[in-house]
Amino acid sequence: MVAIKRAALLAGLAQLIGTSAAQDAITDDSHFYGQSPPVYPSPEMVGGNEWEAAFQKAKLLVGQMTLEEKVNLTAGVTKDSTCSGNIPAIERLRFPGMCLSDAGNGLRNTDFVSGFPSGIHVGASWSKDLAFRRGTTMGGEFKTKGVNVLLGPVVGPAWRIVRGGRNWEGFSVDPWLSGQLVAQTVSGIQGQGVITSTKVSILRATLSILIPNVLQHYIGNEQETNRNPEGNISSVSSNIDDKTIHEVYLWPFQDAVRAGSGNIMCSYQRVNNSYGCSNSKTLNGLLKSELGFQGFVVSDWGAQHAGVATAKAGLDVAMPSNGGFWGDHLIEAVKNGSLPESRVTDMAMRVIASWYQFNQDQDFPKPGIGMPSNVLDPHEIVDGRDPAAAPVLLNGAIEGHVLVKNTKDTLPLKSPRMLSLFGYSAKTPDDFNPSANSLFMAAFGENGTMFGGGGSGAITPALAISPFEALKMRAYQDGTAVFNDFISDRPSVEPSSDACIVFGNAWASEGSDRPAIRDDYSDSLIKSVADQCNKTVVIFHNAGPRLVEGFIDHPNVTAVIFAHLPGQESGPALVSLLFGDTSPSGKLPYTVAKNESDYGDVLDPAQPKGEFANFPQADFNEGIYLDYRYFDKKGIEPRYEFGFGLSYTTFAYSNISINYIEGANTYPWPGGPIVSGGQTDLWDAIATVSVNVKNTGSVAGAEVAQLYVGIPGAPTKQQLRGFEKPFLQPSQSETVTFHLTRRDLSVWSVERQKWQLQQGTYKFYVGSSSRRLPLNGTMHL
C-alpha cells in the first residue's frame, strides 16, 4: 500500500468538492489514504467471441448516426412510464429506445408482477439451480413488460459492513458463493442455458428469453451512510488495496462478466477518493481492460458528478438524465477538441451492441408497455407473471430458510391441537395495499412481516401470503386451534398450546444502514412467551445477521429459524417447513456472532470524523479478513458459523478423493487472451474433489456439501471453493464432485498483476459447514 501525503490529498479533495476546509490539522502520514491511479484512454469495445456478431451489427447502425444522435444515447430522458430510466429512441434509424427498471428481486412499482426471494435468501439456499431458474423467470417478467434492462442483480455491496443497509440485495459475504450465484442469475436473466460441465467451462445455449441486466453497484459500495455528498460532507471513500479488491470485491463481478453480463452500474461512493463513475482505474482499468468488459457502464441514478472527466474515465450512459454534464456539453467537448469523438462513438457502440447482443431488435415488446407512471390511470393491462414461475417462487422461498436450533423434538410440528402465534411481523403490514405511490414501500414491513427489504430492491408483488395467513389456512385444514396476540409485548400464553411461534424482524432499507443487529423489543417478547411455553419457536425475517444471545439459552426456546426475505410465498414456504412437508436445506451465507464486538472493525459504517469530517474515509484495512476468514484468524467462536444449517434428517460424508486433472497446465501464470471475464485460462480445470454424501436419517432432504481450500501462499486457513446440493431419499447416497479452476486455486499477485497458481501443498476440507468438516486431504502442485 502506498501512503500518499495527506496534506496533498486533502488539498486535492477540497478542490474537487469546492471547499478549502480542514487542510491544516494534518500530522500523521503513516495511515493509508488511497488515491486512484489514472488509467487512460478508455478501451474501445472490440467485439470478438460471443460479442462479435452484435459488434458488427452495431458498427453498421452507429456508423449512420450523427454526433448528436450518438450523444442522445448516452443519457436518460423522462418518459411517461414507471421505467426507472429511458434511453431515447432514434426514430430515423428505427432504434426504439430502451427501458431500464428496478430491480434484482422482481420488477418493482407496477402491477401484475411477482415478488421473488431477495438476494440474501438465494444466498441462503445455496442452490445454483434455483438461482438460474429465478433469473430466467424473473427476466421473462421484465421482458413481457417491455423492460430492456433489468437493474440487478447485486454483488456490490459485498457485505463488508455487518450493519450495511443493502447487503440483503446481494447473496453472501463470501465472494466465491456470490460469484457462483450471480453467474447463474445472469445466465438465467439473459436466457442462456448454463451447464457447468465436468470441463468447468460455461457452455451457452441460447433460449428464448433475452434481456440484459445491470450488475449493481460497481465497486466498493459497502455502506449507505454518506454514500452521497450532503452539504459540506463529501461521499465516503472506500480505500481498497489492489490485492483485496481482486480477491474480494471484484471477484463476483468477474464471474458475472464472464457469464455474459451486458451492463454494469457504477456506484455512488468514491473508490480511493475518486467517484465510482469517474474512476478510470476501476472502469477503464479493472473492468474494461482486465475483465475485457464489452457492454456499457451506466451511472447509478445521480452518481455522475462531472462531464468530460467521466466520459474519459469510462462512463457510457448517465442516468436518469445528463444532469447538465453531458448532452450539448459533450457535443461541445468533441467540437473544441477536449474529448475525441471516438469516445462518444464507443459509448454508442456499447449501448447498441448490448441491444443487438440480446436480440432486442427482434420482436421485443414496446419499452415500458403496461407500466404507466401512475398505475391508477387507465392503461393497457400486461400481466407479466408466468405460471412457470410458481414452483421457483415457492421452492426459492422454502430453500432460503435456515433452521439453526431444533431441540426436544419440536419441529416438524406433529398435528398440534393448539398453536399460539405472537409478534407483529407474523402478518401483513396494514399498509400493504398497492396503490400508485405506496408501491415503492409496499413489501417492506418495518411494522409487519417482511417479504423483502426496502428501497429500489423492494418487491411489489401482485399477491403475497404472510405466515399468519398461511398458518391459519393450514390450521383450518387440520382442525387445529389458533390463538394469537400480535399486539402485546408481554402476552399471556394459553396453557394448552402445543407450540408457540414468535415472529420478529431485522429489517433494512436502501438509504440507511441497519440500526442494530438485535433489538430488545423482540428479545423480550420471545423471553416472555418462552417463560410460559415449553416449545417456543422463533422465526426471524432478517435482512442480515441477527444476534440471538438475548434468548438462545432459554430452555423453552426449542427451535429457531432465520427466514430471511422469502418473497411473495413467505407464508406457504414457512408452513411447508414447520409441518415437515419439506425438510429445511438452507445454510447461513454469513456468520452469526455471539456479540457485536466479535465482528471487529467492520460492524459499523465509517463516519465523518476528526480531520476527515468533510471527507469520510473507509479504509479497508482488514483486507480479505471478513466474516469466517476473520473469525478463523482471531479464533473467535461464533454462535452459528458460516455455512451452518440443520435438517430434519442427517447426512454422512465419506470417501474423499482428490484428483489432479491429467495434463492440466500448472505453470504459475495464466497466458490466455482476455475475453469477457478476463484471461481465458483462468477457468481451466486443474483438479476435482469428490465425496460421498449419504442420507442417514428417516426423511428425504437436500444437503449443501461444502468444500473449503487452504491455498499455499494465502494467509487464510481455508476459503470456500465448492458447494453442491444433492437431494437424497433416506439411505440414498450420491457422489458429489467439486471442480476447481486455475482461478479458484490462485492468489492475486500485485507485482505481476496476474492470478498466480501456487506451488506447494493444497489442503482440502469437505463437510456440512465451515466448521463441520469431517473429511480432508491434500494435493501437491
Ligand X SMILES: *[C@@H]1O[C@H](CO)[C@@H](O)[C@H](O)[C@H]1NC(C)=O
- Binding to ligand X (CB under 6 A) within 182-211 occurs at none
User: According to the binding rule CB under 6 A, does residue 446 interact with ligand X?
Assistant: yes
Nearest distance from residue 758's CB to ligand X, in Å?
A: 18
Nearer to ligand X, 48 or 710 (CB): 710
User: According to the binding rule CB under 6 A, does residue 692 interact with ligand X?
Assistant: yes
- Of 107-115, 258-266, 455-463, 530-538, the segment contacting ligand X by CB under 6 A is 530-538
Nearer to ligand X, 362 or 415 (CB): 415
Among 666, 690, 749, 758, binds ligand X (CB under 6 A): 690
Nearest distance from residue 446's CB to ligand X, in Å?
A: 4
Among 338, 696, 731, 732, binds ligand X (CB under 6 A): 338
Nearer to ligand X, 338 or 665 (CB): 338
3-state helix/strand/coil string of 498-533: CEEEEEEEECCECCCCCCCCCCHHHHHHHHHHHCCC
Nearer to ligand X, 393 or 439 (CB): 439
Dist. CA 33–CA 67, nearest whole Å: 40
User: According to the binding rule CB under 6 A, does residue 655 interact with ligand X?
Assistant: yes
Dist. CA 594–CA 133, nearest whole Å: 35
User: According to the binding rule CB under 6 A, does residue 555 interact with ligand X?
Assistant: yes
Q: Cell digits for 5?
A: 501525503
* Burial class of residue 185, CB neighbours in 10 A (0-12, 13-18, 19+): buried
Nearest-CB residue for ligand X: 36
The residue type found at 684 is D
Nearest distance from residue 538's CB to ligand X, in Å?
A: 14
DSSP state for residue 290 in the 8-state scheme: I
Nearest distance from residue 548's CB to ligand X, in Å?
A: 14
- Binding to ligand X (CB under 6 A) within 44-103 occurs at 66, 68-69, 72, 77, 88, 90
Nearer to ligand X, 237 or 299 (CB): 237
Nearest distance from residue 227's CB to ligand X, in Å?
A: 17
Within 8 A by CB and 6+ apart from 223, the residues are 157, 160, 161, 164, 165, 236, 269, 513, 605, 606, 618
Q: Give me the helices (H) in 157-229, please.
A: 175-189
Q: Cell digits for 436?
A: 400508485
Among 201, 228, 480, 534, binds ligand X (CB under 6 A): 534
- Of 141-149, 240-248, 676-684, 751-759, the segment contacting ligand X by CB under 6 A is 240-248
Q: What angle do CA 691, 693, 697 make, to 5 degrees?
A: 160
Q: Which residue has the cell 431500464?
A: 100
Q: Taking CB under 6 A as the rule, which mask of x and - marks residues 600-619 in contact with ligand X?
A: -------------xx-----
Q: Cell digits for 417?
A: 391441537
Q: What angle do CA 71, 76, 77 make, to 5 degrees?
A: 105
State yes or no: is 519 an active-site residue: no
User: According to the binding rule CB under 6 A, does residue 595 interact with ligand X?
Assistant: yes
- Of 167-175, 294-302, 331-339, 717-725, the segment contacting ligand X by CB under 6 A is 331-339
Q: Cell digits for 588?
A: 447461513
Residue 98: enclosing H or E segment and its boundaries? strand 98-102
Nearer to ligand X, 399 or 523 (CB): 523
Nearer to ligand X, 2 or 25 (CB): 2
User: According to the binding rule CB under 6 A, does residue 36 interact with ligand X?
Assistant: yes
Number of residues that bind ligand X (CB under 6 A): 50
User: According to the binding rule CB under 6 A, does residue 271 interact with ligand X?
Assistant: yes
Nearest distance from residue 763's CB to ligand X, in Å?
A: 7
Q: Taking CB under 6 A as the rule, which mask of x and - marks residues 300-329 in contact with ligand X?
A: -------xx--------------------x
Nearest distance from residue 108's CB to ligand X, in Å?
A: 16
Q: Which residue has the cell 468488459?
A: 293
Q: Which backbone phi and psi does 333 adopt, to 5 degrees?
A: -65, -35
Determine the length of the chain.
781
User: According to the binding rule CB under 6 A, does residue 621 interact with ligand X?
Assistant: no
Q: Taking CB under 6 A as the rule, which mask of x and - marks residues 242-261 in contact with ligand X?
A: x-------------------
Dist. CA 287–CA 675, nearest whole Å: 11
Q: Taking CB under 6 A as the rule, which mask of x and - marks residues 656-685 in contact with ligand X?
A: -x----------------------------
Nearest to 530 by CA among 547, 550, 554, 552: 554
User: According to the binding rule CB under 6 A, does residue 731 interact with ligand X?
Assistant: no
Dist. CA 225–CA 260, nearest whole Å: 32
Residue 215 near residue 265, CB atoms below 8 Å: yes
Residue 287 near residue 204, CB atoms below 8 Å: no
User: According to the binding rule CB under 6 A, does residue 14 interact with ligand X?
Assistant: no
Q: Cis (ω within 30 of 0) for the bond into 41?
A: yes
- Of 330-338, 374-382, 518-526, 642-650, the segment contacting ligand X by CB under 6 A is 330-338
DSSP state for residue 289 in the 8-state scheme: I
Within 8 A by CB and 6+ apart from 300, the residues are 216, 217, 265, 266, 267, 268, 276, 277, 319
Dist. CA 163–CA 604, nearest whole Å: 6
Q: Give me the helices (H) in 636-778, please.
A: none
Q: Which backbone phi and psi does 454 adopt, to 5 degrees?
A: -105, 160
Q: Give me the helices (H) in 86-231, please.
A: 119-125, 128-144, 175-189
Among 5, 31, 199, 408, binds ligand X (CB under 6 A): 408
CA distances from 342 to 312, 347, 722 (A): 11, 9, 43
Nearer to ligand X, 655 or 698 (CB): 655
Nearest distance from residue 138's CB to ligand X, in Å?
A: 25
User: According to the binding rule CB under 6 A, does residue 481 interact with ligand X?
Assistant: no
Among 282, 357, 449, 591, binds ligand X (CB under 6 A): 282
User: According to the binding rule CB under 6 A, does residue 336 interact with ligand X?
Assistant: yes
Compute the Cα dihedral for 663, 664, 668, 674 and give only its sign: positive
Residue 212 near residue 153, CB atoms below 8 Å: no
Q: Taking CB under 6 A as the rule, which mask of x and - marks residues 556-575 in contact with ligand X?
A: x-------------------
Q: Which of 300, 498, 598, 627 is catalytic?
A: 300
User: According to the binding rule CB under 6 A, does residue 373 interact with ligand X?
Assistant: no
User: According to the binding rule CB under 6 A, does residue 161 interact with ligand X?
Assistant: no
CA distances from 14 to 1, 377, 650 (A): 23, 48, 60
- Of 247-255, 375-383, 531-539, 630-638, the segment contacting ligand X by CB under 6 A is 531-539
Nearest to 389 by CA among 181, 635, 143: 143
Within 8 A by CB and 6+ apart from 593, the residues are 545, 547, 599, 631, 636, 638, 639
Nearest distance from residue 474's CB to ligand X, in Å?
A: 22
Nearest distance from residue 416's CB to ligand X, in Å?
A: 12
Q: Which backbone phi and psi does 288 adopt, to 5 degrees?
A: -85, -25
User: According to the binding rule CB under 6 A, does residue 477 interact with ligand X?
Assistant: no
User: According to the binding rule CB under 6 A, does residue 447 interact with ligand X?
Assistant: yes
For 650, the 3-state DSSP assignment is: coil
Among 257, 450, 533, 606, binds ligand X (CB under 6 A): 533
- Binding to ligand X (CB under 6 A) within 135-154 occurs at none
Nearest distance from residue 370's CB to ligand X, in Å?
A: 23
Among 34, 153, 157, 643, binds ligand X (CB under 6 A): 34
DSSP state for residue 284 in the 8-state scheme: I
- List residues binding ligand X (CB under 6 A): 1-2, 21, 34, 36-37, 66, 68-69, 72, 77, 88, 90, 231-232, 240-242, 271-272, 281-282, 307-308, 329, 332-333, 336, 338, 408, 446-447, 495, 531-534, 555-556, 595-597, 613-614, 655, 657, 690, 692, 735, 776
Q: Active-site residue numbers?
A: 300
